[in-house]
Chains A and B, each alone.
Chain A
């Protein structure tokens, strides 16, 4: 029997899965994305480098700083400039705050896909706390447009350090509760352990990125592999699990949130005083050439490939987003999985269709 899951289906987000089931087992799954395709790459060719910022972060407003970060780095690479040190730390704080909110969103949807509505509500509620925190720097709830080539738009207020410290303290306690209540119970184990196993070899072969990759035992994190901004000055661990199943993916998200909080704390301590924005001309005209910048966003390695012809507009801008790279793993993992596990397996891969469709 062939089932069309989505685009209007509680278990699919913004995309469609055409799955063939034999009894309760999925024998074939074919993703049908494109329901949110908005032509960002073409639009970027008719906007200048600053005008591109707001629409580029829209595909992933769940992790707005994460998707903007490599764009800014790529433009800086083309210009041959870099951000002042304080701006680098503020960028890192924003990126990590967004990582936490994005992971909390991941957790809540994971919960609803497991049939656990409390697991939807609690992380949603705690996400607001971090949104408040990033609102102090960014100014709006989720779409900040805060990073610009050559720095950030605005400095962090003085009260930020205190509030961040308090929030992190609060949230560490909450994380323990989450683990105790949602993860370490037999029902959750039964639904996730050994389900949708992505082996290390396959993860490498399919070029999976982000938490799914680390859950499969590959210790790869762009922040470590190719440290950008001040990531080489902070101390953090890359969580790795070797099982590669849904449970490992869930655990990676928990561990990453802890590491992010530790990075935020270190950044606040190490952050120097100084300007947050380099003086650049209002109309950026990078010299002809090309740049490929990548960062580790919440959902995995995010990369931009920009070709410049020396004009006001990018000649070609390619968004190589994490979700689109994980799309290939969906049909691969869903084969042989129970129908009931279909939403958790595909969501566990951190596939966010809006981001993948661009």
Chain B
């Protein structure tokens, strides 16, 4: 008994570290250097605002995905968090509007994408996108050149790209022609390019349509022909995310479909080994659409210090800070003013970086409406999850694509049913 009491007492002493006035905790994850950059920016903020103590908790992305939702559900959590699951958890975000000195600034510069992170019909300002991402392809220019194959130009279709890559593969004796990250999100832009539409008229998920099936069919065929690097998709079950970046970096594949966030990563790891270019998204029957997305910094409703939170957010969302953050992290800014002003000086000595980022900016104008609707759609994750789970089973030879189709519909329907079971 005494042991228990003693431990309980100590536990209380340790656990109950109440949010001190003026303390703002940010839960942050990093794909690259952005943790260091934001820490640097925050240090500057703290120097100017000694009354506010900003603590940056760098966590694994897994924590954001798995633990934060539970914290939020129990009315806890940090004061600010960098999240990707924006819409589904919108009920937990704080509306900063009453605390902001200039809400109009936010609407002007971030207004386009506030819908991604607030509940349907709300006009709240929960936060802003730290970066905009866009899916798109990368080509190993050196491999193409060595193989004497021209890099497909504007308007080239997926078939063109894979054929060109196949030639490079054959010529250079590579293990595969291309790879796509294992993610439902990654294949959705291309699917839309083939006419897919995930969203039904009532806003609920539509059944898997022929557009989706068309692109999925191509992926499966390319995998069985040995063109698509098999292990990325095949060697995992469920919705596990797997990136194929390493194979591209290692010059094992001439073409890699991922997204704008890879620019910094590729630059660091490829160095001078070969030239690479961003090529946007190849075209399908309906267009050449990538899929936008991004991570947002949002304020959490359960904070004790909304005033201070707003102050931190205003600082981080201010134009110079956004500009510096983007320039140092090689992320695409989501700030309308910064984008309009242009002239971002990305801090990289790598000659491949600047053109790649510019290509992504340009490609972002080519997205289709069906794709633009997805980031702010509640069931997107359910759809992505079903796609990735089942298509990889098809690739592994466990199902035919036709068999997979009703299973995907079922998975999505299950998820909707579960969520509506209240």
Say whether A and B bind each other.
no
Show the binding face of A for B, using Cβ within 8 Å.
none
Residues in chain B within 8 A of chain A (CB atoms)? none
